[in-house]
């Protein structure tokens, strides 16, 4: 069950970024030299990877990314999805109370075994979700054998 005020009223946490900073502060002595955890997590593209009988379906969250800035590469059996964010400075009137909306360059690679190197992957972008379908190699697909 969701209680919207539990974290904010008990611990003063008003955003996921604030929670990440609290964890970093608690672990800081142990993490010296590892860098900022929020930088690492913000550079990863959230993905879902599903496997069917004849293909892989990869869905990547690309909210706010323009189609022209997205790149998808398939090299051997590694699929790489990335986008290069173009940042623009905007002058606003008045003060900023909260500024958490960022679009940063991100990249994600994943190994997809049994890829058909002869077929061309198909990619579509709809409602901020990039969907890539990669065919499996016919000779390497899993087959059920009949026992006699």
Going from N- to C-terminal start, the domains of the chain cover: 1-34, 43-86+105-138
25-50, pLDDT tens digit by residue?
Answer: 777 655 444 444 444 455 688 999 99
Considering Cα of 71, then 60, then 39, then 111, what sign does the dihedral take?
negative
* 75, β-bridge pairs: 78
Of the two residues 55 and 8, the one the predictor is more confident about is 55
Q: What percent of the chain has pLDDT over 70?
A: 63
For residue 93, give both structure tokens: 């009137």
pLDDT at 80 over 60: yes
Confidence tier at 15 by pLDDT (50, 70, 90): low
Q: Does the pLDDT at position 95 exceed 90?
A: no
Give CA–CA dist 95/86, Å, rounded: 24
Which architecture does CATH list for 43-86+105-138? Sandwich (2.60)
């Amino acid at each position: 069950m969701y209680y919207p005020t539990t974290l904010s009223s008990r611990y003063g946490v008003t955003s996921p970024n604030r929670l990440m900073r609290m964890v970093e502060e608690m672990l800081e002595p142990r993490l010296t030299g590892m860098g900022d955890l929020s930088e690492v997590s913000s550079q990863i593209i959230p993905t879902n990877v599903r496997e069917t009988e004849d293909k892989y379906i990869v869905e990547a969250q690309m909210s706010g990314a323009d189609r022209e800035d997205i790149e998808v590469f398939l090299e051997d059996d590694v699929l790489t999805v990335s986008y290069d964010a173009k940042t623009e400075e905007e002058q606003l009137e008045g003060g900023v109370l909260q500024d958490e909306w960022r679009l940063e360059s991100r990249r994600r690679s994943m190994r997809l075994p049994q890829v058909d190197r002869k077929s061309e992957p198909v990619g579509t972008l709809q409602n901020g979700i990039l969907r890539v379908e990669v065919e499996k190699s016919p000779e390497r697909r899993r087959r059920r054998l009949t026992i006699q």
